[in-house]
Amino acid sequence: MTSAIVMHGLTKDYGADHGLFDLDLEVAEGEVFGFLGPNGAGKTTTIRLLMGVIHASAGSATIFGLDCDRDSVAVKREVGYLPGELAQFGGMRGSEVVTYLGGMRGGIDTARVKELSERLELDLGRRFREYSRGNKQKLGLVLAFMHRPRLLILDEPTGGLDPLNQQTFHQLVGEVKVSGTTVFLSSHVLSEVEETCSRVGIIRGGRLVSDMTMDKVHELRFHEVTVEFSGDVPAAAVRAAAGVEDVAVDGARLTCTVHGGFDGLLAALSGHTVVDMVSREPSLESLFLSYYKQ
């Protein structure tokens, strides 16, 4: 499989340890890649480097084999872009913004614009300044998707969208994925990434913390277990059990986390009277947070 995006040692140093440092990452063609991280982690900096809006301090980035900096114009022919914050188009109507930017690209697929704006329930007849935050985001999505690009680079694409339109967005991503489009989207909402992506990269403090498939992410999952006993609490046996961590005892109640299978825990509990047992799967958000605690 060929690579859509390749970053080697990509660095943008703003000083005082701010920026992006030594990012090595590849995104395969046709892949939907989620780029996760909290605010200020370096997601937008990475995206703006890919778009050639800012210049790297070191390293390189290519899109479909084209250098993002040197071949920036050719790169953009292949890319649909949603910035983190849409430009202020003032009194222009949505329809005019679409034609204005589409004209710069050399052509507009009117049917596609119509389809997108109808599915996102966006009235293009209104002036940009009258749009709510969500409607501005919808306009940004129309602009990114309207020319059926080979690669979509989307910076926090569901910000401001209501749940119904978020669902529409997920459907759109699913559809373009089927047609072979590569998607690189940044987010700090793991559920969104879980819904749409096949691989995620987690960035923190300008450095890539992890790069894994969603299957791997699911493997990393653990369960939070609470057990209540009617008699003695087998704390020592539970602590010694395989895959069990964070054991805490409060009276007749024991809490712990279980990684992998439950065999070790169940063996430790055998012979003791269990009156209640609850196992909770932590959200991806909790998993995400656990990365940042490291």
Partner 1 sequence: MSPRLLLRLHRIGLIAMAYFGIFYVLVNSAAFPLIAGKTRAAQEAFGHSVTVLGATFSWLLPLPIRPDTAAGYLQWRGYGFFAIIFAAWGVFSACGAVRRDEDRGLVESWLSTGVSRLRLLATRSMFFAVVSAGIVALTGGAGWLGCLIAGTPADVAGLVGESAALWALTLACFGLGLLVAQLVGEFRAAAAAGSALLVLMFLLDSIGRSSVHRGPLSGISVFFLFNQSNAVAPGGSFDPTATLLLFVVGAVATAAAGAAFVRRDLGSGLVRQPPRRATEVHDPSSNPLLRVPVARGLWIRRAGTLAWTVGMGVLAAAVVLLVNTTATFFATTPSLSPYLRGLAGDVHTVLLALIWLSFAQALVAILSITTVSRWSADDSSGVLEMQLAEPLPRWGVLVERATELTVTVTVMSFVAMAVILALAPAEGIGVDAGKLLIATALLIPFALTFAAVGALLAGWRPRVAVVVLSTVGVISYLVFELGPLFKWPKWADNLSVFQLYGTPLITPVFVGGLIAMLAIVVVGFGSAGVALARRDVAA
Residue ranges that bind partner 1, judged by CB under 8 A: 48, 51-55, 72-74, 76-77, 79, 81, 83, 85-96, 98-106, 108, 110, 113-114, 117-118, 122-125, 129, 143
Shortest CB 8 distance to partner 1, Å: 20
Closer to partner 1 by Cβ: residue 103 or 231:
103
Tokens of 243: 């895959």
Beta-bridge mates of residue 13: 19
Shortest CB 107 distance to partner 1, Å: 8
Shortest CB 55 distance to partner 1, Å: 6
Shortest CB 111 distance to partner 1, Å: 9
* Residues ≥6 apart with Cβ < 8 Å to 121: 138, 165
Torsion of CA 203, 205, 208, 212, to 10 degrees: -30
Shortest CB 57 distance to partner 1, Å: 10
Closer to partner 1 by Cβ: residue 134 or 282:
134
Closer to partner 1 by Cβ: residue 92 or 267:
92
Exposure on the CB side of residue 110, measured as CA atoms within 13 A: 1
Closer to partner 1 by Cβ: residue 135 or 269:
135
β-strands 182-187, 18-28 pairing: unpaired
Burial class (CB in 10 A: 0-12, 13-18, 19+), 111: exposed
Closer to partner 1 by Cβ: residue 105 or 223:
105
Of the candidates 206, 282, 221, 160, the one whose C-alpha atom is nearest the C-alpha of residue 37 is 206
